[in-house]
Amino acid sequence: MCLVHMCGGNANMDEIMAVVKEHNLKLVEDAGQAFAASYKGTATGLFGSAGAYSFDFFKIATAGEGGIFVTNDENTYKLADSYCDHGHDHIGNNRGMENHPIIGFNYRISELHAAVGAAQTRKVPAIRTANLKHKAFLQKELSKVQGISFSKLGDDNGDSGTFLNILMPDTETAKRTVDEFNKAGVGGFNYWFTNMYHFINQWEHIKGLKTASKLPIQVLGAPQDYNNLQLPKTQAVVGRLISFGIRCTWTEEELKNLASKISECATKALKPVNA
Ligand SMILES: Cc1ncc(COP(=O)(O)O)c(C=O)c1O
């Protein structure tokens, strides 16, 4: 099972782990957006056999590019260590003479990027504290607008505070709200349903399995026809969701301004619903 902790939050791990145990599954966690998030005191990414955090330019800690892979299993660690670096086993002090237990790829991070990532990681507790304060302010202000609700996390105490996730009553209202944001020049949000490559509605390349070279599933037979994959419950939730990226650098004035602009736009978009 590959679990994605989206928008800086945490999934309900008690429920997920019950399914993992019941069906004897291996859990792999994509905590790409959830570095600094946790569930009941355990960091996201540490529940499964392996986890990963993205350190791209958009994340709470950035290395410019790159990320971190975590596992508690020595064999998995060694395989990942070799896989990301041309299969090198990293034993000894002569790179040219190292052995290659497997075929690997060139996914290794550079020393320079890693140094930036290490420095940025030290700032994460302070960034998270500021983010959570800003998010709490926005949620307090926006909860005054009837019709706006907020997505729920598995554990509110473990939020990394990187996203404010607004849920509108339905997809049409969310689309109208996005139109109002665009008209009013409100930026800094993602409407995953139509705009972003994170959601299946924009995955024509995956649905069509458009690849530069053949994938194993194309040679051996695809287990899933992505063109006919129907996800009505997911579509209904993601259609309602608008996510604002939180900035730790926002001033009080910027926060107040943003809260009032979001409220105004949402109120206009909600008119037909509340009428
Ligand atoms: C949830 C999630 N997983 C994985 C990734 C990929 O991260 P990277 O580009 O660092 O490999 C991203 C990047 O946006 C992400 O948001």
pLDDT digits (tens, 9 = 90+) for 200-240: 998 988 888 889 998 888 888 877 788 888 999 999 999 99
Residue 65 has pLDDT above 80, yes or no: yes
The CATH H-level superfamily of 2-66+109-274 is Aspartate Aminotransferase, domain 1 (3.90.1150.10)
- Residue with the larger pLDDT of the pair 194 and 134: 134
What value does the mean pLDDT take over residues 177-194?
Answer: 96
| pLDDT tens-place string over residues 3-53 | 999 999 999 999 999 999 999 999 999 999 999 999 999 999 999 999 999
| pLDDT tens-place string over residues 88-112 | 999 999 999 999 999 999 999 999 9
Whether 32 lines ligand 1, by a CB cut-off of 6 Å, is yes
Residue nearest to atom 7 of ligand 1 (CA): 54
Cα 122 from chain centroid? 21
Whether 44 lines ligand 1, by a CB cut-off of 6 Å, is no
Percent of the chain with pLDDT over 70: 99
Whether 33 lines ligand 1, by a CB cut-off of 6 Å, is yes
- Residue with the larger pLDDT of the pair 241 and 220: 241
pLDDT at residue 39, as a whole number = 98
Residue 5: Cβ within 10 Å count: 27
Residue nearest to atom 10 of ligand 1 (CA): 54
pLDDT at residue 222, as a whole number = 73
What value does the mean pLDDT take over residues 233-252?
Answer: 96
Residue 135 has pLDDT above 80, yes or no: yes
| pLDDT tens-place string over residues 139-155 | 999 999 999 999 999 99
Mean pLDDT, the chain, integer: 95
Residue nearest to atom 1 of ligand 1 (CA): 32
Q: Which of 5, 10, 33 to mutate to test the pocket of ligand 1 (most atoms within 8 A of CB)?
A: 33
CA of 22 to the centre of ligand 1 (A): 29
Q: What is the rounded CA–CA span in Å between residue 81 and residue 261?
A: 47
Is the full-model pTM beyond 0.75? Answer: yes
CA of 9 to the centre of ligand 1 (A): 14
CA of 97 to the centre of ligand 1 (A): 33
pLDDT at residue 274, as a whole number = 72
pLDDT at residue 218, as a whole number = 83
